[in-house]
Structure formats: C-alpha cells, structure tokens
Amino acid sequence: MDQIATVAFRDTESGSEALAIVRAAPGIVGVALSLRSDGDIEVLLPTTAAQTLLEALHHALAVATAKSEPDAHPGLEVMRPADDVYCWLEQESSVMLKAVTRFGDPVELTARDSRTIAAALLAFAEQLD
C-alpha cells in the first residue's frame, strides 16, 4: 500500500499527541489512528465504505465550522453557513432560512456551500426533534 498522508494533531479529549495515517492500494483505503499515550487502530476499507466515510467527514466538518452571526438577530443563534445565507430557529418551532444577496438576487452556491448549509439545517432540525 502507498502512504498518502500523515496528519499530526493533538487529540482534543485526551490532549495526547496523535497521528492519522492514510494509505491506499487498488480497491482499498487504509486509515490508521494512533494516540501517543494509548493504542493504534488501522482499518482497511473498500472504496465504497471510504466514500461514505469521506461524506460523513465532510458533513461533520461543515457542522464544526459553520459560521455564527450573533448580531444579525439579537438573542437568537443565527448560523451563517455561506456568504449571504443565514439560518436560525424561530420560536423553537421552525427553521428559518434567508438566502439573498444585498442586491436582492438569488445566492449562487458551490457544492461545499451546499453541504455546509445542509449541515447547518440538519443541526437546527435535530434541535427541534
């Protein structure tokens, strides 16, 4: 298997130094996670499972990095997942979405913007459930 990337980081829960190592061969993607203070795990995924994991990580990243715009509506948690796009909970009964440019035009979205907005809307929907 070819090594694709090694990502060093500090685990936010334990504070331990950690590594994520990604390897690949035809039809297989390997992901290893290692904590300096604990153990290692490596999983070998078929490409379909790797694609599903990638989509889940994109979704999680969108939720984790959604920008908040607290001044837009005082007292409300307002998310700004993309330029000119705002969403918030209204009276704890519905999700509000505003997507219009300052000129009143529709907002053009990239695929990433769309995923980020979807993640923000899902996060609000979970609060309503």
46-67 residue pLDDT tens:
999 898 888 778 777 766 765 5
| pTM (2 d.p.) | 0.51
Asked whether 76 and 89 are in contact (CB, 8 A), the reply is yes
What are the E-state strand segments in the chain?
Answer: 2-10, 17-25, 28-35, 40-46, 67-68, 78-82, 85-90, 94-99
In a shared domain, residues 101 and 124: yes
Same-domain check for residues 40 and 92: no
Q: Which of 12-21, 23-32, 115-124 has the highest mean predicted lDDT (pLDDT)?
A: 23-32
Rounded to an integer, what distance in angstroms lies between the CA atom of residue 54 and that of residue 49?
A: 9
Q: Residue-wise over 18-38: b if at least 16 C-beta within 10 A, else e?
A: beebbbbeeeebbbbbbeeee
Q: Which of 12, 42, 62 is the last residue of a domain?
A: 62
Residues 84 and 56 in one domain: no
Residues 54 and 72 in one domain: no
Same domain, 99 and 122: yes
45 and 87 belong to one structural domain: no
Select the more confidently predicted residue: 67 or 79. 79
pLDDT-derived band of residue 20, with 50, 70 and 90 as boundaries? very high
Looking at the structure, do residues 18 and 34 belong to the same domain, yes or no?
yes
Judgement on whether residues 112 and 73 belong to the same structural domain of the protein: yes
Tell me the residue range of the domain where 57 lies. Answer: 2-62
Please tell me whether residues 78 and 50 are part of one structural domain. Answer: no
Distance (Å, whole) CA 123 – CA 60: 10
What is the Cα–Cα distance from 119 to 125, expressed in whole angstroms? Answer: 10
**Do 122 and 78 belong together in one domain?**
yes
Among residues 12, 40, 62, which one ends one of the domains? 62
Three-state secondary-structure class, residue 34: strand
The span from the CA of 93 to the CA of 124, in Å, is: 10
Residues 53 and 77 in one domain: no
- Name the domain count of the chain: 2
Statement to judge: residues 53 and 7 lie in one domain: yes
